[in-house]
Amino acid sequence: MTWTRRNLLVAASLLLFARGARAAEPARPPPADETSRKAAAVFGALERQESERLGRTLDGLLADPFFIDPFKARDREKLLARAKPRFEQKLASQGITHWYFIDPEPARTCFLRVHSPTLFGDVVERDTLARAIVSHDVAQGKELGKTAFALRVVKPIKAGGQVIGYMELAEEMGGFLGKMKVKTGCDFALLVDKRRLDRQELARVQKEDRWEERPATVLIDSTVWNERLLELPVPFDQLPDEGVSTGQWTEGTRKFMGAAFPVRDASMAIVGALIVRRTLAR
C-alpha cells in the first residue's frame, strides 16, 4: 500500500469517526423565540425598577431618628416596637417582605429581623452585605436564602460620619411574576437550585412540599398554571442567556409555547430558571 493511499484511508476513517461522534451528541434545543425573549426581559427591567424603589424607601428609613436612635442604643425591644407597625402597615403592602438591622463589621450579625424578630444574632454572609461593607455604600442584587429568593438592597447606617451598621430591605422574587404577567400577558414560573434551600423550611413557608417534582430545582412560584408539565431541556446551570425553547404543547383546546432562561444571583452565578409560557393563536 502506497503512503498516499494509506493516508487517504486514515483520513476517511477519521471523517467517519467524527461524523459518528457528532451523531452521538444529544440534539441541542432550539433557541427561545423572540416573543418569549421580550417577555423574559421584563424580569430584568422590573428588577432595576424595584431596586430603585427599595433604595428610595431605605433612604427615608435611614434618615428617620425614630428608627436609628434605638439601634444606636442597642435597644432591640424598642426598635422592634417602633419598626414593626411601619413594616406591617406600610412596607408589607408595598411588597417588601424582609427588613433587617445588621451589626457593623467585623461582627456582621443580624441585630433585628423586623419580619422575624425571634431570629437574631446569626452572622449574615450574603454577597450584597459584603459589597456594602467594602464600599460603605448601597449594594443590591438577587440572593437565595434558606426559604426565599429575594431582591435585596443594603445601605450603611451612619451616625456622626461613622458607619454603625447596615439596613436591608428585600422583596421576594415570586412577587415579580404577577407583575410580569400583567405587563406581558404571558405566564411565568420560577425554579431555583434546591441545593441552596432548606426543604423543611421552604415547605413550612409555602404550606406545601414540591421538592421531589424535579431532580435539581424546586418551584418558588408561578402564575397559576400547571407547570408540572414542563421539564427543562438542559440542566438549569447550562441555560444560555438567550434562552432555549421548551417546545409546544396542548391543554384542552389551547396551544402553548414555552421557553426557559437562566436566573443569576448577585454574584452572577446561575441559581435557577425562569420559564415563560405564552398562548399561541388558535
Summarize pLDDT for 12-28 with one digit per residue, the tens.
444 544 454 444 455 77
Count of domains observed in the chain: 2
End residue of a domain, out of 172, 188, 217? 172
CATH number at residue 141: 3.30.450.20
Please give the pLDDT value at position 162.
93
Specify the residue for cell string 404577567: 181
**Boundary (domain end) residue, out of 172, 191, 212:** 172
How confident is the model over 271-279, as a mean pLDDT?
95
**Residue 182 within a domain:** yes
- Which whole number is the average pLDDT over 232-244? 95
The SS3 call for residue 183 is helix
Q: What is the pLDDT of residue 121?
A: 95
The answer to whether the beta carbons of residues 247 and 258 sit under 8 Å apart is: yes
**Do 178 and 104 share a structural domain?**
no
Residue 198 covered by a domain: yes
Are residues 168 and 179 located together in one domain of the fold?
no
- 160 plus 179 within the same structural domain: no
Instruction: Round the average pLDDT of the chain to a whole number and report it.
Output: 88
What CATH code is carried by the domain that includes residue 199? 3.30.450
d(CA 252, CA 255): 8
Choose the final residue of a domain: 172, 201, 231.
172
Which residues constitute the domain of residue 146?
A: 44-172
| Contact indicator for 117, 105 with CB cutoff of 8 Å | no
pTM: 0.81
144 and 59, same domain (yes or no): yes
10 within domain boundaries: no
